[in-house]
Amino acid sequence: MSTITIRNLTFAYPGQAPLFDRVSLTLDSSWRLGLLGRNGRGKTTLLKLLLGELSGQGDITFPLTPAFFPAPVADPTAFAGEAIGMGEALPQWQLERELAQLDCNPAILLQPFATLSGGEQTKLLLARAFADPRRFVLLDEPTNHLDAAGRAQLAAYLKRKRQGYIVTSHDRGFLDQVVDHVLVIESQQLTLMNGDFSTYHREKGRRDRAAIDRNRQLKQEISDLRQTAAQKRAWAGKAEAKKDHAAHGDRGFLGAKAAKMMKRSTVLTKRLAAQAEARQGLLANVEEVVPLTINYQAPVEETVLVARAFTAAPFPGGPQTPPLSLTLKRGQQVVLAGRNGSGKTTLLKQVAATIATHRATTSLRFSGHLTVAALPQVITMPHQSLAAYAKAKGVDQGDLFNLLHKLGIPRATFAQCADELSAGQQRKLALATCFLTPANLYLLDEPFNYLDAENQDQLVALIKQAQPTVLLVEHDQALIEQLGAPVVNLTD
C-alpha cells in the first residue's frame, strides 16, 4: 500500500486564474477514488499533474507506475492492436484477457482503429490501461461512448479489480458502484470525503441550500441598510434645503440644526455602508443553475421524419447497420439506443447527409425545407479565438458567450482558443453552437457526454420545457428516464 502526497500545490495555465491554490492532501493508493468537479475546474489537469505531464508550484509524491485512460493513439488508421502498442511491451494474451472481461471480441484488434465505434475504442483503451496489473490507472471519463450494457460491464470489471484507481465520470449511477472515496474540486481547493457520489451530492445539496438561504437573507439586509442610508442622506438634504428657504432671522438656528443633521447623517451613512460591505463579504460563492435557451423553429408539418428499414455503412465497403424504422413527430424526442458498434452514430450521420440533399428516399422521408442542427459524438475544435469561432459558425458572439456562461464556463475563459478548452468545455461550446443554430430538427449524438451533473439537469430541463424535435443517441438509463422519451433500439 502506497500513498500519494500533494503539498502546497499551486497551478495555473499562463494568463489564467489558478486552478489550485496551495492545496495539500494525502491519498491512499488502495482507494477507489472518484474525482469530481464541474467542467473546466481542473480534473484532467490534476491527473496530468500526477502523471508528471504538467508541473506547478509545490510537491507531488507519486510512488507508483501510472497508466492513463484514454491513452493517445498515434496512428488511428493502423490496425487497432498495433495502434495501441500491442507487441513486446504488451503481450497479446494480456490484452485479450482484459477484452474478454469487458465482453469485447478480440477480433477488433485486426480492424483499423478509426473504424471502431466509440464504445469499441473505449473498451480497447481500457483493456490497454489495465493489462498490466502493476500499474495504477487514472481513468478520465471511461463511461463516455459506452452503451448501457457496456457501462454495467465496466462497473463490474472495476469492482473485480484488486488495485485502487482514480476515476472521473459524470455518470452518477456508475460512480456509486465503483468509488469508495470522492475528491471534489471546488473553488481552487480540493475536498476529500469518504463515500460515493450520492453521499457527496446529498451533502453538497444541503450545503448549497443553506448557503442560498443565507445569501438571500444577507442580500435583503444589504438592501435594507443601503435604503436606510439613502433615507438619512435625503433627510439631511431636506434640512439643508429648508434652511436655504427660511427667513433671514431663522437661518442661523436652522443652519446649525441642518449642519448637525448632516454630520449625524454622514456618520450614520458610513456606518451603514460598512455594515453592508461586511455582509457583502459574507455572501457564499454558490453557483445557481439557470435555464438554457434554444433557437428551435417548429416545423410546419406534423410528421418530420419517417424511416423505414433505413440503413447505412460505417465506411465504403463496410457492413450495413441494422435497419432503422421510426416516425418522428413535431415536438417529439426519440432516443436511438443499442449496443456499441450497432451503427447508431453512422445512422445519425447518414440521416443528416440525406436530409442535406433535400431528396427523400424510399427508406427515409422528411418534411420539406427541413433545417437540421447536429451535435457530433466526437468534438474536434479549431485553434481559433471564440470570437472567430462564433463568426465561422454563423452565430452571434454575444449570444454564444451568454449561453456558455449559463453552462458554467467563467467569462475569463472566453479569452482562450477553442482547442485550449477542457473536453467538457469543448462539448459545451459545440452544444451551445448547436442550440444557437436555428433548426427544425436536432440530431444529438450522446449530448450528455462530458457534461457535469448540473449541466445534465439543465439539458433535460431545456428539452422538456422547449419540446424541440430531437433524434438523439444516449446510453445513460437514468437520463433517458428523466427525458421520458420513447426509445428505438437497434438491437431489437
State pLDDT tens for residues 383-432: 999 999 999 999 999 999 999 999 988 888 899 999 999 888 999 999 99
pLDDT of residue 39: 80
Residue 192 lies in a domain: yes
- Is residue 144 located within the same domain as residue 223? no
For 112, phi then psi, to 5°, come to -60, 135
Q: Identify which of 286, 338, 278 has the alpha carbon closest to the alpha carbon of residue 474.
A: 338
Question: Quick one: pLDDT band at residue 373, thresholds 50, 70, 90?
Answer: very high
Residue 472 lies in a domain: yes
Mean pLDDT over each residue of the chain, to the nearest integer: 85
Separation of alpha carbons 184 and 427, rounded Å: 21
Q: Which of 263-267, 278-282, 303-307, 359-363 has the lowest mean pLDDT?
A: 278-282
Q: Is the pLDDT of residue 348 over 50?
A: yes
For position 464, which CATH number holds?
3.40.50.300
pLDDT of residue 267: 66
Q: Which of 49-63, 74-88, 410-424 has the lowest mean pLDDT?
A: 74-88
- Is residue 105 located within the same domain as residue 64? yes
Question: Quick one: pLDDT band at residue 281, thresholds 50, 70, 90?
Answer: low
Residue 259 vs residue 92, higher pLDDT: 92
- Is residue 132 located within the same domain as residue 239? no
- Residue that has been written with the C-alpha cell 490497454 in this structure: 128
Q: Is the pLDDT of residue 166 over 80?
A: yes
User: Tens digits of per-residue pLDDT, 434-466?
Assistant: 999 999 999 999 999 888 888 998 999 999 999
DSSP 52: T
Instruction: Work out the average pLDDT over 117-126.
Output: 88
Q: Is the pLDDT of residue 251 over 60?
A: no
| Count of domains forming the chain | 3
Provide the residue range defining the domain that includes 453. 303-489
Residue 103 lies in a domain: yes
The strand ranges marked E within 283-440 are: 303-310, 324-329, 333-337, 364-366, 372-375
- Is residue 318 located within the same domain as residue 348? yes
Q: Is the pLDDT of residue 76 over 80?
A: yes
Residue 314 lies in a domain: yes
Q: Is the pLDDT of residue 338 over 70?
A: yes
pLDDT of residue 197: 84
pLDDT of residue 351: 95
pLDDT of residue 384: 96
Pairing mode of beta strands 470-473, 324-329: unpaired
Residue 485 lies in a domain: yes
- Is residue 328 located within the same domain as residue 465? yes
Chain length of the chain = 492
Q: Is the pLDDT of residue 228 over 60?
A: yes
Instruction: Work out the average pLDDT over 302-327.
Output: 89
Q: Are 58 and 7 in contact (CB under 8 A)?
A: yes
Instruction: Work out the average pLDDT over 250-257.
Output: 51
pLDDT of residue 340: 77
Residue 290 vs residue 286, higher pLDDT: 290
Residue 292 lies in a domain: no
pLDDT of residue 286: 56
The arrangement of strands across the sheet holding 324-329 comes to 324-329, 303-310, 364-366
- Is residue 251 located within the same domain as residue 371? no
pLDDT of residue 178: 95
Q: Which of 185, 204, 223 is the last residue of a domain?
A: 204
Residue 56 vs residue 236, higher pLDDT: 56
Radius of gyration of the chain (CA): 29
Q: Is the pLDDT of residue 77 over 60?
A: yes
Separation of alpha carbons 308 and 69, rounded Å: 39
Q: Is the pLDDT of residue 69 over 60?
A: yes
Q: Which of 10-24, 221-235, 405-419 has the lowest mean pLDDT?
A: 221-235
- Is residue 321 located within the same domain as residue 273? no
Residue 449 lies in a domain: yes
Instruction: Work out the average pLDDT over 355-372.
Output: 93
- Is residue 214 located within the same domain as residue 272? yes
For 380, phi then psi, to 5°, come to -125, 115
CA atoms within 13 A on the CB side of 369: 6
Tell me what percent of the residues of the chain surpass a pLDDT of 90.
46
What does 147-196 look like in DSSP terms, one character per residue? -HHHHHHHHHHHHH--S-EEEE-S-HHHHHHH-SEEEEEETTEEEEEES-
Q: Which of 204, 229, 261 is the last residue of a domain?
A: 204
- Is residue 211 located within the same domain as residue 329? no
The three cell numbers of residue 295 are: 433557437
Q: Which of 282, 313, 336 is the last residue of a domain?
A: 282
- 213-244: b (≥16 Cβ within 10 Å) or e: eebeebeeebeebeeebeebeeebeebbeebe
Q: Is the pLDDT of residue 369 over 60?
A: yes
pLDDT of residue 206: 82
Q: Identify which of 38, 136, 128, 112 has the alpha carbon closest to the alpha carbon of residue 427.
A: 38
Q: Is the pLDDT of residue 284 over 80?
A: no
- Is residue 34 located within the same domain as residue 130? yes
Other C-beta atoms within 10 Å of 419: how many? 12
Instruction: Work out the average pLDDT over 282-305.
Output: 82
Residue 297 lies in a domain: no
- Is residue 54 located within the same domain as residue 118? yes
Q: Is the pLDDT of residue 254 over 50?
A: no
- Is residue 68 located within the same domain as residue 160? yes
